[in-house]
Amino acid sequence: MQRLTPSSVYTGRMLTVFALIFVALPILSAVWFGMSAGGGSTWDHILHNRLLPYTLTTLIVLVLVGGLILAIALPCAWLVSMYSFPGRRVFEWALILPLAMPGYVMSYAWADLFGVAGPVQSALRSSTGMMARDYWFPDLFTVPGLSFILASTLFPYVYIIARAAFTTSSLATLEAARSLGVSGVGLFRRVGFPAARPAIVAGLALALMEAAADYGAANFLGIQTLGVGIVRAWSSFGEPATAARLALVLISIAFLFVILARVSKGHATTRQTSTRWLTPTRIALSGASRWAAFSLCATVLLVAFFIPLGRLLWLSLEVGTGSAPMLPPLIASLVLGLAGTVLALICALSFTLSTWLTRRVEWLPRLITTAGYAAPGVVLGLGALLLLKATGMGLSGAGAFVLLICIYASRFTAAGAEPMRAALMRAPQTLDYATRSLGGRGVRRLLQIDLPVLMPGALAGGLILFVEMIKELPATMMLRPLGMETLAVRANFYATDERLALATLPSLLITLAGLGPVLLLSWQLSKSGRVSA
């Protein structure tokens, strides 16, 4: 136990408490609103007729998305970490690219490409002479179709975390296993996966919460998830309070994930010694397996990124772009993303360090950030409007700007905190012992030990946050300052007016704006993979 506590530690704790309240406020106000005012006949109708289908559909989507993500992310991460094969160096970073493409944009592109009137089916009909009713074709507008769309934009979450775990965590064990003759799939199943499991589960939980909160893709594809039901309760029935109440179901599902993630982690704390911070020697694949590995990674990259991107580019060239200028929305997106990222990082940092230092209230920040992350943007936006009402202000100028980035922080802090937590957990326990025995604490400890250890995680978290924020649509739509428009808002305007081709340019710009940070993230991860202690 520490004998004396410098005032700066109190300051730090105050800051943590402050950040907690701050992140919790919008979601709490929305929940309160839902519980106090969300009853009535509409709620009864939803409860009796819609709640079960909404929930079941959502759960089925989540199971499928989870399975698909693991099936895509784990083999790719394992291959690029453990083996060398043609294109490995490119795949290593390029497999993160799909993160830059919003789910709703992905669904527009695939629906256009593979819809009944799209180029693929049209070509099929004209080459075979069949009519649309004569043949079976995979239908994107189904639960599996939605799961495919969500999985192909969200698998990088697990890929990033799994790759980091594979490349940095288990060298000694791997080498031991190899010397005992375990190889190939066995090595993954018996050594690689068990060691990386807690990290993978955490990444998966994050991705699934993101999938659960989706509205854009599900609505476009006509799948009745909870996310769609929540918006419907608001727009069709005109009852935002009922929408907020319905969001509680979604938040409960998210809590379930967090609990499951914790249970699966069990007592297995995988602290490393510093000698294990080495990338294992990659085995050169030969013959057919070389090309099998190449094809797998190439297919994932084509399907999850280049094919939809190519289709959007094509549409954009064919029909042209709208007359609205794109520079102001681009700048607005960048500024909002940057400001929101800084704020969310500060919150994430204070939660992570506070957890690290005190180990008392770990569940509380986690609970709150999870609730924010799982709540759909519209519900948080609603919470923000209730707070706005309490202040008696109009939604304009700097006040609106600040409110919006606060909502970003409230919504996304979980995505920033997880990589930081992972970075802390990977740090050798001996570092902590050494620091304590040398009397390091307070701000000195923060600056000299914890921040440098956190840096890779903070960078990864910051980049993920930035990409998420420039993709964010519902809260931005509701809360942006008067006259301000972001790329996501503009793309959505065109898309809701059914002018997909015009939506292409802003969608592409979102992808491009997200690409920079994603490339930076890839580079940073590749670099950390090569670091030796």
Partner 1 sequence: MTKHLTLPTLLIALLAFACSPAAPSSGSNAETVPEALTIYSSRHYDSDRTLYQTYEAKTGVKIQVREAGADQLLETMKAEGENSPADLIIAADAGGLWRFQSAGLTQAIADPELNALVPENLRQADGHWFGLAKRVRIVAYDPGRFSSEQVDQWLELADETKRGEICVRSSSNIYNLSLMAELITRIGSEDAGDWASGIVANMARNPQGGDTDQVRAVAAGECGIAIVNHYYWVRLATSASQADRAAAAATRIVVPRFPDGRGAHINITGAAVTASTAKKTLATDFIKFLLTNEGQALLTVETKELPILSSAALPEGVEALPPFKGGGTPLETLGENQAEAQRLYDLAGWN
Q: How many CB atoms lie within 10 A of CB 196?
A: 27
| Residue 213 or 446 with smaller CB distance to partner 1 | 446
CB of 143 to partner 1, least distance (A): 10
Q: Which stretch binds partner 1 (CB under 8 A): 73-81, 392-400, 508-516, 524-532?
A: 392-400
Residue 364 CA to its chain's centroid (Å)? 21
When computed from its CA atoms, the radius of gyration of the chain, rounded to whole angstroms, is 24
477, 515, 519, 520: which one binds partner 1 (CB under 8 A):
477
Structural contact between residues 506 and 329, judged by C-beta atoms closer than 8 angstroms: yes
CB of 495 to partner 1, least distance (A): 9
Which residues within the stretch 306-345 sit at the binding site for partner 1 (CB under 8 A)? 318-320, 322-324, 342-343
Separation CA 516–CA 26 (nearest Å)? 30
Read off the DSSP letter of residue 84. Answer: E
Distances in Å between the Cα of 133 and the Cα atoms of 28, 125, 137 are 50, 10, 10
| Residue 21 or 292 with smaller CB distance to partner 1 | 21
Separation CA 404–CA 470 (nearest Å)? 12
Which residues within the stretch 28-47 sit at the binding site for partner 1 (CB under 8 A)? 42, 45
Which residues within the stretch 179-238 sit at the binding site for partner 1 (CB under 8 A)? 219-222, 224, 228, 231-232, 234-238
* CA end-to-end span of the chain: 30
| Residue 99 or 380 with smaller CB distance to partner 1 | 380
Distances in Å between the Cα of 378 and the Cα atoms of 32, 40, 179, 472 are 15, 21, 54, 11
350 binds partner 1 (CB under 8 A): yes
| Residue 435 or 526 with smaller CB distance to partner 1 | 435
Which residues within the stretch 126-165 sit at the binding site for partner 1 (CB under 8 A)? 131-133, 139, 141-142
Q: Which stretch binds partner 1 (CB under 8 A): 95-103, 250-258, 475-483, 517-525?
A: 475-483
CB of 289 to partner 1, least distance (A): 41
CB of 266 to partner 1, least distance (A): 35
Which residues within the stretch 351-380 sit at the binding site for partner 1 (CB under 8 A)? 378
Which residues within the stretch 409-448 sit at the binding site for partner 1 (CB under 8 A)? 442-444, 446-447
Structural contact between residues 532 and 277, judged by C-beta atoms closer than 8 angstroms: yes
Single out the residue of 152, 112, 146 nearest to residue 215, CA to CA.
146
394, 430, 434, 438: which one binds partner 1 (CB under 8 A):
394
| Residue 60 or 70 with smaller CB distance to partner 1 | 60
Which residues within the stretch 90-129 sit at the binding site for partner 1 (CB under 8 A)? 111, 115-117, 121-122, 125
| Residue 80 or 345 with smaller CB distance to partner 1 | 345
How is 307-329 classified by DSSP, letter by letter? HHHHHHHHHHHHH---SS-SHHH
> Tokens 């503009």 — which residue?
490
Read off the DSSP letter of residue 86. Answer: T
381, 416, 456, 517: which one binds partner 1 (CB under 8 A):
381
Separation CA 320–CA 328 (nearest Å)? 19
Residue 97 CA to its chain's centroid (Å)? 13
Residues in binding contact with partner 1, number by CB under 8 A: 87
| Residue 99 or 332 with smaller CB distance to partner 1 | 332
Structural contact between residues 245 and 35, judged by C-beta atoms closer than 8 angstroms: yes
493, 516, 519, 529: which one binds partner 1 (CB under 8 A):
493
| Residue 94 or 221 with smaller CB distance to partner 1 | 221
CB of 348 to partner 1, least distance (A): 12
26, 240, 329, 419: which one binds partner 1 (CB under 8 A):
240
> Tokens 């989706």 — which residue?
214
138, 287, 392, 439: which one binds partner 1 (CB under 8 A):
392
CB of 388 to partner 1, least distance (A): 5
Helices within 359-396 (DSSP H only) = 363-374, 377-391
- ∠ CA 165-169-175, nearest 5°, is 120
| Residue 192 or 340 with smaller CB distance to partner 1 | 340
Helix axis angle for 397-426 and 363-374, nearest 10°, is: 130
18, 363, 433, 523: which one binds partner 1 (CB under 8 A):
18
CB of 2 to partner 1, least distance (A): 16
Separation CA 220–CA 199 (nearest Å)? 32
> Tokens 């902590």 — which residue?
432
Sign of CA dihedral 354, 358, 359, 365: negative
Q: Which stretch binds partner 1 (CB under 8 A): 264-272, 328-336, 391-399, 420-428?
A: 391-399
- ∠ CA 507-511-513, nearest 5°, is 115
Residues in the chain: 533
106, 109, 501, 521: which one binds partner 1 (CB under 8 A):
501
Which residues within the stretch 44-63 sit at the binding site for partner 1 (CB under 8 A)? 45, 49-50
1, 327, 498, 532: which one binds partner 1 (CB under 8 A):
498
| Residue 133 or 530 with smaller CB distance to partner 1 | 133
Structural contact between residues 453 and 431, judged by C-beta atoms closer than 8 angstroms: yes
